[in-house]
Amino acid sequence: MNSPNTINKNGQLAIEVFQLHKEVEDATGKLSILQGIDFTVQAGETLAIVGASGSGKSTLLGILAGLDLPTAGKLALRGVDLFALTEDERAQFRKEHVGFVFQSFQLLMHLNALENVMLPLELRGDKDARSKAEQMLKQVGLGERLRHYPKYLSGGEQQRVALARAFVTEPALLFADEPTGSLDTQTGEAIMQLMFRLNQERGSTLILVTHDMSIAARCDRTLTIQAGRIA
């Protein structure tokens, strides 16, 4: 799965994508969303995926994170052929290696901030879930908001909880879909600074979808998707 679309970060490949295709059916027949996507990402690299609305970038991100399946092609995460795994095995792999930050936060409204961040740790049986979650929330500046439910948190605070939840398991791979898309400029800037700081401290590989070219410029590399293909 060699590709010229890579940089020599540390010599280890975190992501290998080969001839990825995605088709869906609608009332008019088959619709091609992704066509022949090829690229690699080095471990520890930061990569921005950009493109016009409807270009397929969010679909690509969901496939890379193992949340969606392609119609054809191969994807290796940390050397593991993701689509050779069963659905349960993919879920286990995500639990151990992947963090995901959704644009709409996807916090559980009946859980407070601490419980939302504890959840992925509890799902993998971590006995120190509470202390790790508390420490992570303090690291993102929410040490005084542990018991607050999402409806009592601002958009920026909810996004910080989402970041804490994604980073608390120390994932090797972090995916973020428009992480500042629903935030004001000042809050969005604070969130991006926090995300890149956590990425550097944890040494994770960061892949994000963004429409903001100033954010993309901070990444090691930018991948442009145009009509389902790499431009």
Q: What is the pLDDT of residues 51-97, one digit of tens each?
A: 998 899 999 999 999 999 999 999 999 999 999 999 999 999 998 89
Query: pLDDT, tens digit, for every residue of 175-214?
Result: 999 888 777 888 788 888 888 887 888 889 999 999 889 9
- Residues in CB range of 91: below 8 A, 6 or more apart: none
* Domain covering 44-55+86-230 in this structure, CATH number: 3.40.50.300
- Residues in CB range of 61: below 8 A, 6 or more apart: 49, 175, 177, 207, 209
- Residues in CB range of 16: below 8 A, 6 or more apart: 1, 40, 74, 75, 76
CA distances from 230 to 21, 61, 183 (A): 12, 13, 28
* Cα 56 to Cα 225: distance, rounded to the nearest angstrom: 7
Give the largest CA-CA distance in the chain.
52
Query: What residue ranges do the domains of the chain occupy?
Result: 44-55+86-230
Torsion of CA 192, 195, 200, 206, to 10 degrees: -100
pTM: 0.85
